[in-house]
Amino acid sequence: MINFSANLSMMFNEVNFFERFNLAKEYNFTGVEYLFPYEYQVEEIQSALEKNELKQILFDLPAGDWNSGDRGIAVQPKRVGEFQDSVEVAIEYAKALNCKRITCLAGIPDIDVSAEISRKTLVENLKFATDSLINTDITLLLEPINSIDIKGFFLNKTSQALEIISDVGAKNLKLQFDIYHMQIMEGNLINTIGENLDDIYHFQIADNPGRNEPGTGEINFNNVLNFIDKSSYVGWVGCEYNPKGSTIEGLKWIEGYRNNA
């Protein structure tokens, strides 16, 4: 059966951050993920995880000034030093939280920098990050994101991300496949997943349109999740969606899936 992780950046937002861990356990999640842990003391997060017997599955590298529009800095040559510092910070948190996956958001290229230089910068930054992780059991993930929600984002398709991963050539760099983003950009979900299972190290889900819980849009999640469940994939599926109503009311989909799996 699939292991689902609750994304605490989007789910259970009816309560404060640390109370979300309690609700994740109450509603039968065994793992959690979120965008960033860095505004919190690592000891506070450790305590919330241990209290609720939850695993820390994933979080993202620092992505610049999120509130000012940054969505990652890995493609920006003027911020290489900042990127390298962010890797060290993320590793400290990941080790302390026993987190085995860190996601790199490529970001939006500078308008005065060519696509070639932006791509080269991304590859070199990923080489730095994977080299920094070489003596750990942490895997770096690269995620393509749709070009509608984040206009100008550097990576939009599975094939683009896989080309970058190939160019970096590191065994500890894998693909994060977000079903919501890839439905918008590509469709053909089951075939694409099946062709790339060896490279996929984490899934995230939301329905489209709306980025709400499964069952609210066009994606046949019964088929997609059953395909993943019957495949060789042994990782986690992150519930990175905005509940259409309350988080708890929106969990009926997962109850139904678990009961029928």
Residue 157: CB atoms within 10 Å: 16
Task: Tell me the C-alpha distance between 236 and 233, whole Å.
Answer: 9
Task: Choose the catalytic residue: 14, 44, 88, 240.
Answer: 240
97 within 8 A of 46, measured Cβ to Cβ: yes
Does 195 qualify as catalytic in the annotation? Answer: no
Strands 200-205 and 139-142 turn out to be unpaired
Task: Choose the catalytic residue: 14, 50, 124, 143.
Answer: 143
Q: In sequence order, what are the residues at sequence separation of 6 or more whose Cβ sits closer than 8 angstroms to the Cβ of residue 252?
A: none
DSSP letter for each residue of 164-204: HHHHHT-TTEEEEEEHHHHHHHT--HHHHHHHTTTTEEEEE
Does 26 qualify as catalytic in the annotation? Answer: no
- Which two structure tokens, joined as six digits, stand for 156? 């939009």
105 within 8 A of 60, measured Cβ to Cβ: yes
Residues carrying an active site annotation: 143, 240
